[in-house]
Amino acid sequence: MTDLVAHAAARGGATAIDAPFAEVAGINDRVDLAACETAARRQINEAWMRAGVTMVDPATAYIDADAGPLGRDVWLGPNVSLRGKTSVGDGARIDAGAVLVDVEIADHAYIKPYSVLTSSTIGSRAEIGPFTHCRPGSRVDEDAKLGNFVETKKAHLMAGAKANHLAYLGDASIGAKANIGAGTITCNYDGIAKHQTTIEAGAFVGSDTQLIAPVTIGRDSYVGSGTTVTKDVPRGALALTRVKQVNVEGWADRFREAKAKRKKSGDEH
């Protein structure tokens, strides 16, 4: 930049203009770079706040220059990052520590703390998190819910569907108002190729279930907890693969008594 004066003089002169120092300051090292980035971020945040966005702590809100639009009455918690082409609809709430990269958030959606979303689409009034990970290709429609420690990849949850706890949903289509129990896994990769799981509307998938893709869970069907599904479940059916439970009466008492006798015998010798 210091050479510009000499170049201008060689062309016949220069015109002086006034500008904020932060906008024309030179960047010679990483300290200067950080200072300029801080100034630019403050400018971006102030513009969005004047447009109707609430930031709990503007100093810790990171919004890329390409992000937007951000709707009116959007609420951003501390340490939120909106990266890439992320857009946020009116009245949406993005809570502490959330990181969104190239994500489309519809009106009144709620992204709960410490969720990470990439190249995904979130519908109106949907709830995500806390600690949810939406990988590329995830789509969550209106009123659907993804809860704590749920991971999705190329998964489409239709209106009102929910997976509230500890699930992996990859290469999956999940119908309206379907319920996915805790610990459910779509086993989508066979070591060579990825396969699709289809869970139709109204289906109930119990906890600790493995769905071996490709497989379809029919509309309004039930999958019992602890089931490994390897073939399609018809509409309205119950799928169950549990091992039959056997109760041996008195076994625990006899085991403890025998253990105590062995211990006493060892002490005597």
Burial class (CB in 10 A: 0-12, 13-18, 19+), 265: exposed
* Residue type, position 222, single letter: Y
In the set 156, 165, 195, 269, the catalytic residue is 165
CB-based contact 184:211 (threshold 8 Å): yes
Nearest-CA neighbor of 74 among 112, 48, 113, 37? 48
C-alpha distances (whole Å) from 189 to each of 9, 153, 185, 244 are 66, 12, 11, 29
| Residue 17 per-residue DSSP state | -
CB-based contact 26:12 (threshold 8 Å): no
- Residue 11 DSSP SS3: coil
Active site residue 195: no
Strands 145-148 and 168-174: unpaired
- Name the region of 20 (left: φ>0; alpha: ψ -120 to 50; beta: rest): beta
| Residue 32 per-residue DSSP state | H
CB-based contact 118:103 (threshold 8 Å): yes
Q: Which residues are identified as catalytic?
A: 165
